[in-house]
Amino acid sequence: MLEKILDGNIQIADSVIDWKESIKIAGKPLLQKNIITENYITAMIESIEKLGFYVILRENLAMPHARPEEGAIGTGVSLLKLNKPVYYGDSKVQLVFVLATKDADSHMEILMKLVELFQDDESIEKLINSKNYAEIEKIIKKY
């Protein structure tokens, strides 16, 4: 399931300037597919500035998101894999998953698969160490 929803939404970058840039880059595939608007990216950044780094779900992984009414047209997920970590406050992050959902319910199945992945230490380690799209796709295929 994740393989299908992440199809065409995976990016690999060596590094980014800061956490804000990581969100802008990570959100780009969803923006290009009209799943989110530019306002959704702004809302994700403003939410973190206001509430802090609540998007850190585990070491090396962040999942920025905003409310559906802040610019989510559809439901989707994108992934930015960084070779060099970016800091979200004091936390190092190399995997940035952007979640967009058009309403309160349509993302539950996706969220359950993401949680399954996020709890799998071995898969997260493999994602962090992956060098190309084929390696990433192989890891997410089982979710």
Q: What is the pLDDT of residues 5-16, one digit of tens each?
A: 999 999 999 999
Report which of 141, 50, 43 is spatially closest to residue 99, judged by C-alpha positions.
43
35-56 pLDDT, tens digit per residue, is 999 999 999 999 999 999 999 9
Beta bridge partners of 100: 76
pLDDT at 109: 87
Model confidence at 122, in pLDDT bands (50, 70, 90)?
Answer: very high
Find how far residue 94's CA is from the centre of its chain: 10
- Which pLDDT value is given to residue 103? 85
Strands (E), the chain: 10-13, 56-58, 60-62, 76-88, 91-100
For the entire predicted model, the pTM comes to 0.96
* Residue 107 designated active-site: no
Q: What is the pLDDT at residue 99?
A: 96
Give the HSE-up count for residue 37: Cα atoms under 13 Å, Cβ half-sphere.
Answer: 10
Q: What is the mean pLDDT of residues 63-85?
A: 97
Which band of pLDDT confidence, cut at 50, 70 and 90, is reported for residue 116?
very high
Polymer length of the chain: 143
Residue 62: per-residue pLDDT: 98
Residue 120 sits in a domain of what CATH number? 3.40.930.10
C-alpha dihedral (118, 120, 122, 128), degrees to nearest 10: 0
What is the tally of structural domains in the chain?
A: 1
Q: Considering 65, 81, 107, 113, which one is annotated as catalytic?
A: 65
Q: Look at residue 105 in the predicted model and tell me its pLDDT.
A: 77
Helix (H, G, I), strand (E, B) or coil at 41: helix
Average pLDDT over every residue of 63-91: 97
What residues contact residue 139 under an 8 Å CB cut-off, 6+ apart? 123, 126, 127, 130
Which pLDDT does position 50 carry in this prediction? 97
State the average pLDDT for the chain: 96
Give the domain extent around 117.
1-141
